[in-house]
Amino acid sequence: MRKNDPSYLLILIFAITTSVCTAQKNKPKETAYKYIPDNLELYNTIVAMDSTFFQAYNTCDLDKQASIYSDNIEFYHDKGGLMTSKQELLDGTKKNICGKVTREFVKGSIEVYPIKDFGAIEMGLHKFHNNTEKADTPSHASKFIIFWKKDTNNWTITKVVSLH
């Protein structure tokens, strides 16, 4: 068989097509990532604490927020920078958030990881709704990380990373 013979070209095309189809067929399928907590009790505790804190946030219960924030809070905001004063954080919430913004977490996005001899880290997605805008104004999900410290039976927020 010669290289310029048309049957040679057809056989070559058939061989290449068969190889490509077989390779794609045998390629393993990627599965979607699904978080499964290592410690369901810890996960449920942190999700409940998150809910308690953000209920206070959404209703402007500054006393409740103050009781959950550590006195040594570190709040990292991608747009606002670092804030380390608990009182300034509460004052900023009162001035800029109360009655103006509500938070909604994205269902199924929360992950909780234990930190030995400290507490836990919570990560997830949430949306903030500007209450001065029309109700159907879209809100985009943003990432957050919260460091929860456990002292005896009390959980406090020591660090927050808020990314928009």
Each residue of 126-157: pLDDT tens digit?
999 998 888 888 889 999 999 999 998 899 99
How many residues make up the chain in this entry?
A: 164
Residue 99 to residue 74: CA distance in whole angstroms: 24
Q: What Å distances lie between residue 32 and 29, 43, 126, CA to CA?
A: 10, 21, 20
- Give the 3-state secondary structure of residue 164: coil
pLDDT for 103 beyond 70: yes
Give me the CATH code for the 40-163 domain, please: 3.10.450.50
Give the dihedral sign, CA 42/45/51/52: negative
Beta bridge partners of residue 112, listed in sequence order:
122
Read off the tokens for 26: 């045998």
Contacts of 30 (CB under 8 A, 6+ apart): none
Q: Give the β-pairing of 69-77 and 154-163.
A: parallel
Each residue of 45-82: pLDDT tens digit?
999 999 999 999 999 999 999 999 999 999 999 999 99
pLDDT for 114 beyond 80: yes
Q: What is the mean pLDDT of residues 15-26?
A: 59
Beta bridge partners of residue 103, listed in sequence order:
128
pLDDT for 15 beyond 70: no
